[in-house]
Amino acid sequence: MYHLPTSCLVIFFLLSLFHPLPCDSSNQGLGWCETLFQCGNITAGFPFSGGNRHKECGHPSLELHCNKNNITSLFISNQKYSVLHLDQTSNTLTLTKQDLLGSFCSSVFTNTTLPPETFELSPSYKSVTIFNQCSSLLPNLSSYTCPEIGPISVSESPEKNPESCRSSFTVKVPTSFDTKEKELNVTNLESVLRKGFEVKLVINENTCQECLSTLGRCHVFNENLTPGVKCRPPSDSEGSCGYNQTSSTFLCYCKDPYSLSCSSGSKISFIGSFTDTLFSFMISVSQFLCSFSANCFSFFFAPFYRYRI
């Protein structure tokens, strides 16, 4: 026999009355991993995460950030880039490096490196090498003398540093950018760097698409709350794409991992909706309440688990 504390039962009942029906809201609203990242003009879904999109909903190297001025940023190889444009149909992004937005000569010189497993430079852009810390002007390259740091030169071939230059780094510029002029136009260089460069996402998301298109297994995010629950085809198989941070693989989640039988899109009866509501609500409340009382948890859950799973 269970000895249920009466107070626990009362609290349950009272809270249930005032709790909004999650089934109703999840049916009209968005399921797990369907919420989009939104910041200024930028809207992004899978394979991105960040903002309202949980970490588990996107690839770890594609976590977007939104600052108070509604500027979207992304870290690539530990460097911060601003996202000027993001097109999810072509999977392209226009990026600028934040430390190259001011005067070029006083920038922090670092390589612009794109991990080839994630990004590919669009064909209308090219990578150029800039030599700095040069002891003298390189007569055969397009060059400019910065007031503070001395001569810099730009080259299209990624050759090794000329003897007179101690350092070099790469930047991405449009293919139309001229590196043949003897005099490097720094104003023009600054202007093209501010407009950014375009990259294409090359992340392979087939695994997830397969999961979505077949009646395959979807994965429930919070397995502690709903152990062993799988999407129930066909309606629940409409999952949303996500990413398993532990195993580094794509997967798909049920639209609403907290609701066990609210199938998306289909009309549900009031009774069904109400019991599901109660059930999913109890899961969340019991986590809170049952940290005080173990009896309460087993009383409420033993029968439900047998019934549901």
Ligand X SMILES: *[C@@H]1O[C@H](CO)[C@@H](O)[C@H](O)[C@H]1NC(C)=O
Give the footprint of ligand X on this chain (CB under 6 A): 40-41, 69-70, 109-111, 138, 140-141, 155, 159, 162, 167-169, 185, 187-188, 191, 219, 244, 246-247, 251
> 5 vs 45, which CB is nearer to ligand X?
45
Residue 219 beta carbon to ligand X: minimum distance, rounded to whole angstroms = 4
> 165 vs 296, which CB is nearer to ligand X?
165
Q: Which residue has the tokens 């226009």?
A: 94
Residue 193 beta carbon to ligand X: minimum distance, rounded to whole angstroms = 12
CA atoms within 13 A on the CB side of 59: 18
Phi and psi, residue 177, nearest 5°: -65, 125
Residue 197 beta carbon to ligand X: minimum distance, rounded to whole angstroms = 16
Is-contact 272 261, C-beta < 8 A?
Answer: yes
Burial tier of 104 (Cβ tally within 10 Å: 0-12, 13-18, 19+): buried
Residue 158 beta carbon to ligand X: minimum distance, rounded to whole angstroms = 8
Residue 229 beta carbon to ligand X: minimum distance, rounded to whole angstroms = 11
> 78 vs 247, which CB is nearer to ligand X?
247
> 27 vs 226, which CB is nearer to ligand X?
226
> 153 vs 273, which CB is nearer to ligand X?
153
Residue 139 beta carbon to ligand X: minimum distance, rounded to whole angstroms = 7
Backbone conformation region of residue 156, classed left if phi is above 0, alpha if psi is from -120 to 50, else beta: alpha
> 241 vs 290, which CB is nearer to ligand X?
241
Q: Is the dihedral of CA 295, 296, 299, 303 positive or negative?
A: negative
> 169 vs 301, which CB is nearer to ligand X?
169
- CA 190 → CA 98, 170, 257, distances in Å? 12, 14, 48
Taking alpha carbons only, the member of 124, 111, 116 closest to residue 81 is 111
- Give 6-13's long-range contacts (Cβ < 8 A, gap of 24+): 8/289, 8/293, 8/295, 8/296, 11/289, 12/282, 12/285, 12/289, 12/300
> 165 vs 262, which CB is nearer to ligand X?
165
Residue 267 beta carbon to ligand X: minimum distance, rounded to whole angstroms = 29
Residue 131 beta carbon to ligand X: minimum distance, rounded to whole angstroms = 10
Element of type H or E holding 299: helix 294-308
Q: Which residue has the tokens 């800039």?
A: 130
- CA 214 → CA 62, 158, 230, 238, distances in Å? 26, 46, 14, 9
